[in-house]
Amino acid sequence: MVILTLNCGSSSVKYQVYDWRKKSALATGIVERVTQPGSFIKHKARGKGEYNLNRECPNHEIAIRLIMDTLVDPQVGAIGNVNEIMAVGHRVVHGGEKFSQSVTITPEVITTFEELQGLAPLHNPANITGIRAAQAVLPKVRHCAVMDTAWHQTMPPESYLYALPYEWYTRYGVRRYGFHGTSFLYTAKRAAVLLGKDPFQTNLVIAHIGNGSSINAVKNGLSFDTSMGFTPLEGLVMGTRSGDHDPAIAFYIMKVTGMSNADMENALNKKSGVLGVTEKWVDRRDIEIAAAEGNERARLAQAMEGYRIRKYIGSYAAAVGGIDALVFTAGVGERGPVTRAIATQGLEYMGIEVDPEKNRVSMTRNAETCISTDRSRVKVFVIPTDEELVMTEDTYALEQGTYDVHTNFSYSFQSRDYRNPEREADLARDLEKWKGMDRILARPK
């Protein structure tokens, strides 16, 4: 059984094709600059290397048709024909309070997503467009929605409500929703495996650090609190998002400059974060180089980002009554030792002690590593996320009628014997580059 997963953004479509019987990915790729001039596809099929093609994609349906054509291409493709695809899983950023688990997409479900567009105006419209486009290309297969917000539906009211007029919640849905839920689900389950614990007896703080970043407090295996809120703007210092700040600042700047609501929303989402501090860089690798060369703004951006993460680690560990492990994941979390070092500095009193050399050589998304010292009471793991696998397994289970909310459902990656053959194949290259990383590979207890 072949399962296709799609992650449709406003100007991109990311995809993976997975062979369920062989338990391996057949192909991955992305179409970029969808709806814009100069669109192109980057595609990699197992055993065939990378393939790039420039092709104008004025809409998402044409982009998805390009993906289908590429997947069945005799030279670079991964499947014989599109009829091999038995189901499609779609990432949907916002499910509001309507969904606490993945669902089969029906006209009623799409209507609900449309009603929620106001809560995620940058994401849900693109997700809906992608769903409709994929249904047009593959009309006879099951389409499923995997929501980023579903994981966080276990948060208690004291975590998800704001101290605002209660009517704003009841009438307009203003509350903390949280995002990156698919990533948190995967890493929470994997951390429990590495600890050798029942996932529902495990307390964690998980830091998903990338261009968009958030932290999740996990209490007894369930999401208890998370740093992103009503929108993905709240919380950590991010690539271009401000994260936490006094909301009155926006009123003040709009008053003295004449900025419009739209201008302010753009500034907070696209011109703030480490970009706003450095006024030049978003990529943390560029910031590391600049900081090493003595650029004070780069150093300040690093310090601010790391300090904000550290504050959340401490507050969330307190909120859940102590943690078994701290987990780093996503692009910067997985390959950003400088950020990890700053974020964990001075946490020894909490039992969190990172080994500098272990942290330095943990530079892979192809294996799980442990970067804490042997005497650290709290384990510190770097766990590469795998949102596509969660989407694939949810979609397969929905197709088979075996799916349930994660508290009543077991994933393949919860097994001690779980293996990812693609990552294992690529790990040798990383081990060769980063000497000593073989000694910090995390193994299930």
Phi-psi sector, 158: left (phi>0), alpha (psi -120 to 50), beta: alpha
Give CB contacts under 8 A, 24+ apart, made by 274-280.
Answer: 274/237, 274/238, 274/239, 274/240, 274/301, 274/304, 274/305, 275/239, 275/240, 276/240, 276/242, 277/237, 277/301, 277/304
* Nearest to 84, CA basis, from 136, 6, 21: 21
Name the nearest CA neighbour of 50 among 64, 62, 40, 59.
40
**Measured at the alpha carbon of residue 344, what is the angle toward residues 246 and 290, in degrees to the nearest 5?**
75
Task: At 183, list the tokens.
Answer: 């990533």
- Report whether 198 contacts 142 (CB < 8 A): no
Q: Please give the torsion angle defined by the CA atoms of residues 161, 167, 172 and 178, in that order, rounded to the nearest 10 degrees.
A: 0
Tokens 């942290």 locate to 359
What is the separation, in whole angstroms, between the first and last Cα of the chain? 32
* Half-sphere exposure of residue 200: CA atoms within 13 angstroms, side-chain side: 6
Copy the structure tokens of residue 264: 């302010």
Cβ atoms of 440 and 358 within 8 Å: the answer is yes
Residue 443's SS3 state is coil
Amino acid at 70: T
Closest CA to 220 of 201, 237, 245: 201
Catalytic residue numbers read 148
Q: Which stretch of DSSP H or E encloses residue 109?
A: helix 107-115
User: Cβ neighbours of residue 16 under 8 Å, at least 6 residues apart?
Assistant: 4, 5, 25, 27, 28, 388, 392
State the DSSP string of 345-394.
TT-GGGTB-B-HHHHHH---SSS-EE-B-TT-SBEEEE----HHHHHHHH
User: In this structure, are residues 430 and 384 in contact, taking their beta carbons and an 8 Å threshold?
Assistant: no
